[in-house]
Structure formats: C-alpha cells, structure tokens
Chains A and B, each alone.
Chain A
Amino acid sequence: MDILHNLAFGFEHALTLQNLFYCALGCTIGTMVGLLPGLGPLATISLLLPLTYSIPTSSALIMLAGIYYGAQYGDSVSAITMKIPHAASIVACIDGYAMTLKGQTGLALFTAGVSSFIGGTVAIVVLAALAPSLGEVALLFGPADYCALMLLGFICVSVVTTGSVINGLAMCLIGVLLGQIGTDLETGTPRFTFGAQFLVDGVSLVSVALGCFGIAEITKNLDEKSERTPFNGKIHLIPTWPEFKRIWPSALRGSVAGSILGILPGGGPTIAQFAAYAIDKKVSKYRHEIGTGSIEGVAGQAAADEAAARTSFIPLMSIGIPENAVMALMMAAFIIKGIQPGPNMIAKHPDLFWGLVASMWIGNCFLLIINVPLVRIWLSVFKIPYSVLFPSILFFCCIGTFSVNNNLEDIYVTAAFGFLGYVMMRLALDPAPLMLGFILGPMLEENFRRAMLLSRGSFTVFVTRPISATLLGVILVLFIAQLVLMLRARGASRAGKPVAASERDTIVASPESARN
C-alpha cells in the first residue's frame, strides 16, 4: 500500500505540464543522441548541465534521466541498422545487425523498442518497491565477490563467440591485454604506454567499440567487390503473433538480469547486455538461432540495457554513491542544485525521488510512442547512397570519440582500432569476445589485487565470503556441465553426428549468404 501511495505522490509531481514537457524533451534528446554513432549520454548531459541551472530541480532531473535512458534505446538503433555500437549496445551488433543483413531491420527495431519498454517497466517496479533498501546490496559486495562475478562474466566468452571457441578465447585475451594499457591503479606505474601521454589513462571503450565494429564494417563494405545496393525491400515492421511470443520471455529474462546488474557499481548496462545474451543462449527455446540474427538476441539485450540504466539510479538515490560516470554527473546536478545525495535523500526529498520514478514510467511510454512510428524513418537511412552515408557515419564516429575526453588523440586511437577491426574481420575473428575481455579484464584485475591486499595474500577469502563462494560454485557447475556436453558431443560425432561442427558452419555462413 505504501508503494501505491508513494507512486501516486510521485505521479502528482511527474504529471505537471512542465515536468511532462521536460520528460518528453529528455527522451527525445536521448533517443537522438543514442542514434548518432558514438555520441553517448555522458557527453550530452555534461553539455546540457548548464541549461538545468535555471529550471526547477525535479524538472532538471527528470530531463537528465530521460536523456540517459532514452539514449539506451537509441543506442540499439544504430547498432542494429549500422553496426555502430555504444558501450551498452555492443551485443546488439551481433544479432541485431545479422537481422538487418537478413532484411529484418524493421522487426529488429520493433523488438528492441518493445523489449526496452518491458525492461524499463520491470526496472521501475524494482525501483519503486525496493530502492530504499536495495542500495545496501551494493555494500554487500566486497572485492572478492566482484572478482567472482567477473570470472562468471568470462564464462560468457564461449557464449558470445559466433565462430570457433579457441578464436573467441584468443580474442578475449587480446581484449584483456588492451585493457592493461594505462596507469596501474595500485602502483601508479604506466603500462604499455610507450611514453605516449594520451595512453596514460588507457584507451576508451568507445574507441575500441566504434573501431572494431562500426569503422571495420564500413571499411569492409567499401572493400566489397559487389556493389551493395541500398535496401528497398518491403518493410516488415509489426511482428506476427508467433514472433511476438518470442520477444517477451527473452525480454523478461533480460529485464531481471539488467535490474540486478544495474544495482552493482561498475558494470551497469555495459555488463548487463552480455549477461542477458548469455542467459538467452543457455535457456532460450530458440538458443540455436542466437548469433544468426534471432529475435531473442535482440530482445534480451535491449531489455537488460534499459533495465540496468534505470536501476543504476538506486545506489545514487538511496546511498548517495554514483556507480558510473553518468550517475556521477547526475550527482553533480543534485549538488549544483544545493542537494547533497546520501542515505537521507529519499526521506528528505521524497518529491524528487518518487517524481523521478513516476517520470521514468511516463518516459517509458513516451519512448514507445516516439520510437515505434519512427522505425520507418530510421529505415530510410538505407535509402541514402553509401557514398554519402559512410562519410557521415565516420564523421559522427569522430565527434563521438572526441566527446569522451575532448581529446584529438582519441580519434587516432579509434582509427587504429578501425584498422585492427578490419583485419580481424578479414581473418574471420570475432570482436565481441574482445570487447568482453576489454571490459571485464581490468575490473577483474583491480578487484583481485584489492581482495589480495585486504586479505593480506590469503586465497581463502574467495571461499569464506558467501557471495563469492556461491558465484565460484556456479562457475564450477557451469564448467563441468560444459565439459560433459562437449564430451557427449564428441561421442556423438564419433557416432557419425557432427552436431557442433555443422552448427558452427551455419552460424559463420548465414550472414554472408543472407547478404548475397
């Protein structure tokens, strides 16, 4: 009852004409920003922060939040249509883009839109019901527990790999190595910087993702001997009932994964997308299609992304801890308005918190209204001749990379990764595991060393802490299960049924065949 009362109170604040306007404005800006390759909510919010000085606090927050979660959906659009990812839509480049190559862009976008809506709704329920107490969950996780969580993440490597598992592992390790570039946190020693000042803080995720996916893909298309003709086929937008039935289970699974991971500092949407994808690949009824452009591969990711973006507000609002860069900026917005986020904030400013929660749901509806009809417009991107489209995409990629640190050298780094990505593509190496290694590697190292420091070098900390022990147990079970399956598959292939091999072949071949 309390929740209903609070939500009613929140809607009272969110439904004023002014707040509705700022909510719609935020969602629209967010979607636009998400669509533009490489531009993220971080740069946008820091650019728009001065605008909020003159508007009331709750309206300002509603707008900034709208930009953040609006951008999550927009991200998926550019990943699906052009294979240009943002930090939180890397996975959408796998199945989403594969669907585009099959001519199912409309369906993929619709799936992403509906799944985002489902993800958002689930997360808002979590936020409303549990936020005041859930913030504490972030405190339960010590370095050893994060370490185990990251290890669990590495299990995903075999899942996000579409080609051979050995290649996937190799790419993952290259990602881990790339993550080592920069200053070592614990000693301050520069690693692999070769004396270059711009490498002192490492290479940014945006550079690696844009380079390995977007720029590599564009280069490959230019390289193609056969001219790629702009897409003119009939747009298949609204899914059939059987297709729709495939969206919601994945979206729900993604929402749950996203809601949980969103609460934990460090990962948020970036890690949630991989988790959702991995879960679907393990439990979905259509798991054999994932990787070749299936609805599930898009739905889970989009829902997780959206859910995590919203639950990442929980640590900020309930304990005053910003868990990622965007949340740090939101915190700055509070402080500029003279409000100090902390454990007392919900009690002291209930109108802000509940108004924000209610506005998120309104924003959710806005996004659905804005985006589903706009799918047709996004699709018209393909009517632009490639001689115009490609340079403009590259142009936006440059702006996007530049906007992260306002640093010109970052553009060169992105270009270098574009080249690397192209080479990898030609060698049929998969960039997704590289991204996973790049994201998880540094976090694993940092938390492992911190755990060792705090336990004074004793490994027992990993089994004595309940969370880490449980997670490590799960890893062990998964590992054994995988091993048993592999042995069984080998047994089966000896008996004349090369299951695994044939499956792989179809996966590698299908995007190619779909294009021709």
Chain B
Amino acid sequence: MKELTRRGLIVASAGGVVAGLPSVASGQGHNWPERPIRLIVPYPPGGSTDVLARLLGERLKDRLGGTWVVENRPGAGGNTGIDVVAKSAPDGYTIGSATVGHFSISQYLYSRMPFDSDRDLIPISLTWELPNVAVVPTQHVPARTIPEFIAWAKGRSGGYFYGSPGVGTSPHLCGALFATRIGLTATHVPFRGAAQTIPAMLGGDVQLAIDNLPSYVGAIAAGQFRVLAVTTPERWPTLPDVPTMAEAGVPDFVATSWAAFVAPSATPRAIVDRISEALRAIAADPAVQQRFETAGARPLGSTPEEVREKSRHERPIWKEMVQISGARLD
C-alpha cells in the first residue's frame, strides 16, 4: 500500500515536471473545469427533470465557471442516460441528473440493470424534490378529502380508474399502493405522460392520479383539479391547506420524487465536493427557491453521504410498492 502510494507520488510528480505543474493539479481537480461539462438528463427535453436541471446548470455555471451543456439521453425509463454517466470517464466532465428511480426503484422493476447505483455512481448532492399529489377532476369527482373520496369510490361499481405516465413510474406505484391501503378496487390506466392524463381526467374517464405536482400546477390554479393530499412527510409550502397522506388518514404513505446529481464513481472527490457545495449554496438561494416553487418543486442540497443514506432508507417502501403494483419491466 505504502509502495503504491509512493510510486503514485513519483509518477505524479514526474508527470508534473514533464508537463509543467498543471497536470498534477488537474488530477486533483484544482483546474477543473477546463472544458465544457456534460450535464446528462436521462429524459426527453421539456420534462420537469429537464427544466429543473437546466435551471441548476445555469446557476452552476455562475458559481463554478465552465460551460454546462445539458444533453438529453432519454430511453429505457431513464436508465439509458444514467448508464452513459456510469460508463463515462471519471474526470468530472460528465454529470448526470438522476432521480429516486435510479437509486431506489429500478432495481425492483428491472430483472437486469445496466448499472448499479451504489457501485458505479457517486452521488454529488440532492438537487430537488417534488411531491406527488392526489388530484381529482373537480367537475367529475365531488370529493374534497380522502375519506370523502373513499366513500364516493365505494359507491361506484367496479371501482375507479387512476392514471399514470406509464408502468413502474412513481405515480403508478403510488396509485397501486393507495388502492391497496384504502382497500378498494382500482384500475390502472397508463398514459404517455401527464399531457395525456390531464385531458382524460378532465373528460371524466379517469378519476384519480397521484402524480408529480409540476405537471398539474397550472390546472390546479385554474380550479380544474382539486388536491386531496400530498405524499410528502410534511405539508407542501405552496399547498398549505392540503393535508399529508397521514393527516388524511392513510398512514405510511411518504413517497416523494427526489433527484440528485451523480458522477461516475471514480470521479475525484475534490470535484464532487466542489459541485456539492455549490449545489447546497444554490438550494439556499431565495431566487432559486422561488423559481422552483413556480415549477412545483423545492430545491435541495446535501452531502454525497446524505444521498446514499436517503436512497437506502427509501428502498423498503418502494420495494413494497413495486410488489403491490405487480409492475415488471425488462
């Protein structure tokens, strides 16, 4: 071990002598960033992950310098893009915007995963969280609270329909868990995103969705949807009157969609820490908080270890949800 370190030092200093000092420095990340940084978003442009990652990329540029280029690599429910990150050179120039799915859900959904989030990736910082909200179309569902909804749904023969943006997504899993918890029959109707779910709900075909808040902000403001509960542990700042699931009578139902920036696991710790610090500072910026709030999200900042802990902590509930929903992807 000692031998190795010494040799490493000799090689490093020799390299420094030959190429002039910067090479040692760049190995440690002191000169980083020297070239554009790829911020890989594993979803198509225009979604909430894309929008929020772009907002953060702008702020990171201001704080750390360099050019932050958002690169959309959609595919396989977000696995393709994060796999690209996992297999990139660990030089601090490839950063990925991962979500709770990559850390705590995918391993239960897919029989084989192209990467292991614990082994192949190092988290940088939590970046944001957004609640899933239980929404009903105002025109078609009279219920104002969860108990009212349960009573109303009991009166329908065959139960109710709930929408989601696809099999295995957090709205699908939440919808399945919810139906189980309240003990009612419900049928899952998968769509290709909230842009399809919303019209189906406004048309009265689908009665409930426990979907990501951002897609519904506009429609909620216009009174087209009523929010019955949020899935966060505490009430959500922009929806102060809406109870949490526990308050509404559905205990053990905390499921937020959170996100974190990640890098290939061998990325120099110095670089990871610099980005992590910057992200924490950005999350504390009131202007950023306000911008995220309009979009239905809340900026977060944390240490890499806190991300790891959160992802481990949440695995049991997501595992349960995947089992209940019966979702299986390959």
Check A139 against B202 for contact (C-beta < 8 Å). Answer: yes
- Chain A proximity mask over B167-196: 1 for CB below 8 Å, otherwise 0: 110000000000000000001011110011
Check A201 against B74 for contact (C-beta < 8 Å). Answer: yes
A188/B294 contact (C-beta < 8 A), A49-B54, A340-B221, A342-B218 known: no
B75 interfacial by beta-carbon distance below 8 Å:
yes
CA distance A456 to B156 in the complex (A): 13
Residues of chain A within 8 A (CB-CB) of B221 are 340, 342, 344
Q: What residue in chain B is nearest A186 (Cβ atoms)?
A: B190
CA distance A132 to B192 in the complex (A): 25
A142 interfacial by beta-carbon distance below 8 Å:
yes
* Among B51, B189, B196, B329, contact of A335 (Cβ-Cβ < 8 Å): B51
CA distance A329 to B187 in the complex (A): 31
Interface residue total, chain B, C-beta cutoff 8 A: 51
* Among B74, B167, B294, contact of A405 (Cβ-Cβ < 8 Å): B74
Q: What residue in chain B is nearest A136 (Cβ atoms)?
A: B202
A345/B46 contact (C-beta < 8 A), A406-B72, A407-B75, A453-B187 known: no
Check A454 against B189 for contact (C-beta < 8 Å). Answer: yes
Q: What residue in chain A is nearest B214 (Cβ atoms)?
A: A335
A185/B167 contact (C-beta < 8 A), A139-B199, A139-B202, A321-B195 known: yes
A387 interfacial by beta-carbon distance below 8 Å:
no
A162 to chain B, nearest CB (A): 33
Check A344 against B222 for contact (C-beta < 8 Å). Answer: yes
Q: What residue in chain B is nearest A320 (Cβ atoms)?
A: B218
Check B45 against A42 for contact (C-beta < 8 Å). Answer: yes
Check A328 against B58 for contact (C-beta < 8 Å). Answer: no
Q: What residue in chain A is nearest B48 (Cβ atoms)?
A: A335
CA distance A406 to B50 in the complex (A): 15
B198 interfacial by beta-carbon distance below 8 Å:
yes
Check B199 against A265 for contact (C-beta < 8 Å). Answer: yes
A343/B73 contact (C-beta < 8 A), A185-B190, A331-B46 known: no
CA distance A186 to B198 in the complex (A): 18
B144 interfacial by beta-carbon distance below 8 Å:
no
A342/B222 contact (C-beta < 8 A), A142-B205, A186-B190 known: yes
Compute the total of residue contacts between A and B using a CB distance below 8 Å. Answer: 132
Check B203 against A265 for contact (C-beta < 8 Å). Answer: no
Within 8 A of B (CB), among A80-118: none
CA distance A440 to B329 in the complex (A): 25
Interface of B is mostly: mixed
* Among B74, B167, B198, B203, contact of A187 (Cβ-Cβ < 8 Å): B167
Residues of chain B within 8 A (CB-CB) of A407 are 73, 75, 80
- Chain B proximity mask over A58-89: 1 for CB below 8 Å, otherwise 0: 00000000000000000000000000000000
CA distance A338 to B209 in the complex (A): 25
CA distance A343 to B291 in the complex (A): 20
A340/B45 contact (C-beta < 8 A), A46-B72, A50-B54, A328-B195 known: no
Check B205 against A454 for contact (C-beta < 8 Å). Answer: yes
CA distance A148 to B168 in the complex (A): 29
Residues of chain A within 8 A (CB-CB) of B73 are 405-407
Check B46 against A321 for contact (C-beta < 8 Å). Answer: no
Residues of chain A within 8 A (CB-CB) of B206 are 454
Q: What residue in chain A is nearest B189 (Cβ atoms)?
A: A453
Check B196 against A265 for contact (C-beta < 8 Å). Answer: yes
Residues of chain B within 8 A (CB-CB) of A139 are 199, 202-203
- Taking each of A190, A197, A335, A344, which has the highest tally of chain B beta carbons within 10 Å of its own beta carbon? A335
Check B195 against A454 for contact (C-beta < 8 Å). Answer: no
Check B195 against A406 for contact (C-beta < 8 Å). Answer: no
A240 interfacial by beta-carbon distance below 8 Å:
no
A287 interfacial by beta-carbon distance below 8 Å:
no
Residues of chain A within 8 A (CB-CB) of B187 are 453
Check A197 against B224 for contact (C-beta < 8 Å). Answer: no
CA distance A328 to B194 in the complex (A): 11
CA distance A7 to B291 in the complex (A): 31
Residues of chain B within 8 A (CB-CB) of A330 are 46
Residues of chain B within 8 A (CB-CB) of A331 are 46
User: Can you name 14 extra interface pairs (CB under 8 A) apart from A322-B46, A345-B218?
Assistant: A49-B54, A142-B200, A188-B166, A188-B167, A197-B75, A198-B75, A200-B76, A201-B74, A201-B76, A332-B51, A336-B55, A340-B217, A450-B191, A453-B161
**Contact sample, A vs B, 14 pairs, CB 8 Å cutoff:** A42-B45, A46-B45, A50-B58, A143-B200, A143-B205, A188-B328, A188-B329, A189-B330, A197-B80, A197-B114, A320-B219, A323-B195, A328-B46, A343-B219
Chain A positions within 8 Å of B, measured between CB atoms, are 42, 45-46, 49-50, 53, 138-143, 183, 185-190, 197-198, 200-201, 265, 319-323, 325, 328-332, 335-336, 338-345, 405-407, 446, 450, 453-454, 456
A-B complex: 10 closest residue pairs judged by Cβ atoms: A342-B218, A328-B46, A188-B167, A343-B222, A46-B45, A320-B218, A329-B46, A332-B46, A188-B329, A332-B51
